[in-house]
Chains A and B, each alone.
Chain A
Amino acid sequence: MSPADWAGPADPVPGSLADLTAHELAERFADGRATAVQATEAALERIAATDEQLHAFLTVTSDQALKAAGEVDAARERGAPLGPLAGVPLALKDVLVTKGVRTTAGSKILDEFVPPYDATVVRRLRDSGVVILGKTNMDEFAMGSSTENSGFGTTRNPWDPTQVPGGSSGGSAAAVAAGQAPLGIGTDTGGSIRQPAALCGIVGVKPTYGLVSRYGLIAFASSLDQVGPFARDVRDAATLLETIAGHDPMDSTSIPDAPVDFTSGLTEGIEGLRVGVVKELFLEGTEPGVLARVREGLDRLERLGARLEECSLPSFEYALSAYYLIAPAECSSNLARYDGVRWGLRAKDSADVVDMMQRTRQAGFGAEVKRRIMLGTYALSAGYYDAYYGQAQKVRTLVRRELEDAYRRFDLLVGPTAPTVAFPVGEKADDPLAMYLNDVFTIPVNLAGNAAVSVPAGLSEGLPVGLQLIAPALGEATMLRAAWAFEQDLGLSTRPIRPTAATGEVGP
Chain B
Amino acid sequence: MTAAVASEAGTRRYETVIGIETHCELGTATKMFCACPTVFGAEPNTQVCPVCLGEPGSLPVANGRAVDYAARIGLALHCRIAERSQFHRKNYFYPDMPKNYQISQYDEPLCVDGWLDVDVEGEVRRIGITRVHLEEDTGKSLHVGATGRIHGADYSLVDYNRAGIPLVEVVSEPDLRSAEEARAYAEELRAVLLALGVSDAKLEEGSMRFDVNVSIRPLGQAEYGTKIELKNLNSLRSLYRAVAYEADRQHRVLAEGGKLTQETRHWDEGAGRTEPMRSKEFATDYRYFPEPDLVPIEATAGWVDGLRAELPELPAERRARLAEATGLPAKEVGWLVRDPEVLAYFEAVLPGRDPKVVAGWVMGELQHDLREFGHTMASNPVGPERLGQLLDLLAAGTISATAAKDVLAEMFTSEASPATVVERKGLAQISDTGELEAVVQRVVAANPDLADKFRGGKRGVLGALVGQVMRETHGRANPKLVSDLLERHIGG
**CB within 8 Å of B: which residues of A?**
96-97, 103, 105, 110, 113, 115-117, 119, 214-219, 221-223, 249-253, 329-330, 332-333, 336-339, 341-343, 352-354, 357, 377, 380-382, 385, 389
**Stretch from B94-102, B115-123, B325-333, B374-382 that touches the partner:** B94-102
Contacting pair A352 B100 (CB below 8 A)? no
Contacting pair A250 B100 (CB below 8 A)? no
A340 to chain B: closest residue by CB: B95
B348 at the interface (CB under 8 A from A): no
4 additional A-B residue pairs with CB within 8 Å, beyond A222-B293, A252-B61: A223-B292, A251-B59, A337-B100, A357-B93
Contacting pair B294 A105 (CB below 8 A)? no
Contact of A215 among B57, B95, B158 (CB under 8 A): B57
Contact of A218 among B57, B89, B156, B294 (CB under 8 A): B57
Interface size on B, residues (CB 8 A): 34
The B contact surface, by secondary structure, is loop
In the assembled complex, which residues on chain B have CB atoms less than 8 Å from the CB atom of A377?
287
A105, A214, A337, A377: residue with the most chain B Cβ atoms closer than 10 Å: A337
B397 to chain A, nearest CB (A): 66
Contacting pair B57 A96 (CB below 8 A)? yes
B96 to chain A: closest residue by CB: A341
Contacting pair B292 A330 (CB below 8 A)? yes
B285 to chain A, nearest CB (A): 5
CA distance A96 to B287 in the complex (A): 27
In the assembled complex, which residues on chain B have CB atoms less than 8 Å from the CB atom of A329?
289
Contacting pair A337 B62 (CB below 8 A)? no
A450 to chain B, nearest CB (A): 17
In the assembled complex, which residues on chain A have CB atoms less than 8 Å from the CB atom of B91?
332-333, 336, 380
Contact residues of B between 48 and 76, Cβ < 8 Å to A: 50, 53-62
Contact of B287 among A117, A250, A353, A380 (CB under 8 A): A380
Per-residue interface assignment for chain B, residues 286 to 324, with 1 indicating a CB less than 8 Å from any chain A CB and 0 otherwise: 011100111100000000000000000000000000000
A110, A215, A251, A336: residue with the most chain B Cβ atoms closer than 10 Å: A336
A457 to chain B, nearest CB (A): 33
Q: List 14 A-B contacts (CB under 8 A).
A: A96-B57, A97-B55, A113-B56, A117-B58, A119-B57, A219-B293, A330-B292, A337-B99, A337-B100, A339-B93, A342-B53, A353-B153, A353-B156, A385-B287
Which 10 A-B pairs have CB atoms at the shortest separation, nearest pair first?
A336-B100, A223-B292, A222-B292, A380-B287, A216-B57, A97-B57, A218-B56, A382-B285, A218-B57, A341-B95
**CB within 8 Å of A: which residues of B?**
50, 53-62, 89, 91, 93, 95, 98-101, 150-153, 156, 158, 280, 285, 287-289, 292-295
Contacting pair A337 B54 (CB below 8 A)? yes
Instruction: Assess A253 versus B57: contact at CB under 8 Å? Given A333-B91, A352-B151.
Output: no
CA distance A158 to B303 in the complex (A): 57
A97 to chain B, nearest CB (A): 4
In the assembled complex, which residues on chain B have CB atoms less than 8 Å from the CB atom of A216?
57-58
In the assembled complex, which residues on chain B have CB atoms less than 8 Å from the CB atom of A338?
56
CA distance A131 to B55 in the complex (A): 25
CA distance A350 to B405 in the complex (A): 65
In the assembled complex, which residues on chain A have CB atoms less than 8 Å from the CB atom of B158?
341
CA distance A219 to B56 in the complex (A): 7
Contacting pair B289 A252 (CB below 8 A)? no
Contact of B150 among A219, A250, A353, A385 (CB under 8 A): A353
CA distance A251 to B295 in the complex (A): 10
In the assembled complex, which residues on chain A have CB atoms less than 8 Å from the CB atom of B101?
333, 336
A43 to chain B, nearest CB (A): 25
In the assembled complex, which residues on chain A have CB atoms less than 8 Å from the CB atom of B285?
381-382
In the assembled complex, which residues on chain B have CB atoms less than 8 Å from the CB atom of A223?
292
Contacting pair A97 B56 (CB below 8 A)? yes
Contacting pair A250 B156 (CB below 8 A)? no
A249 to chain B, nearest CB (A): 7
A85 to chain B, nearest CB (A): 23
Contacting pair A342 B57 (CB below 8 A)? no
Contact of B59 among A250, A333, A337, A343 (CB under 8 A): A250
In the assembled complex, which residues on chain B have CB atoms less than 8 Å from the CB atom of A97?
55-57
B138 to chain A, nearest CB (A): 13
CA distance A338 to B98 in the complex (A): 10
Contacting pair A342 B50 (CB below 8 A)? no
In the assembled complex, which residues on chain B have CB atoms less than 8 Å from the CB atom of A353?
95, 150, 153, 156
CA distance A428 to B287 in the complex (A): 32
A213 to chain B: closest residue by CB: B59
B17 to chain A, nearest CB (A): 25
CA distance A113 to B56 in the complex (A): 10
Contacting pair A381 B287 (CB below 8 A)? yes
A352 to chain B, nearest CB (A): 6
Contact of A252 among B55, B56, B59, B151 (CB under 8 A): B59
CA distance A337 to B59 in the complex (A): 13
A330 to chain B: closest residue by CB: B292
B280 to chain A: closest residue by CB: A354
CA distance A333 to B93 in the complex (A): 10
In the assembled complex, which residues on chain B have CB atoms less than 8 Å from the CB atom of A96?
57
CA distance A336 to B283 in the complex (A): 14
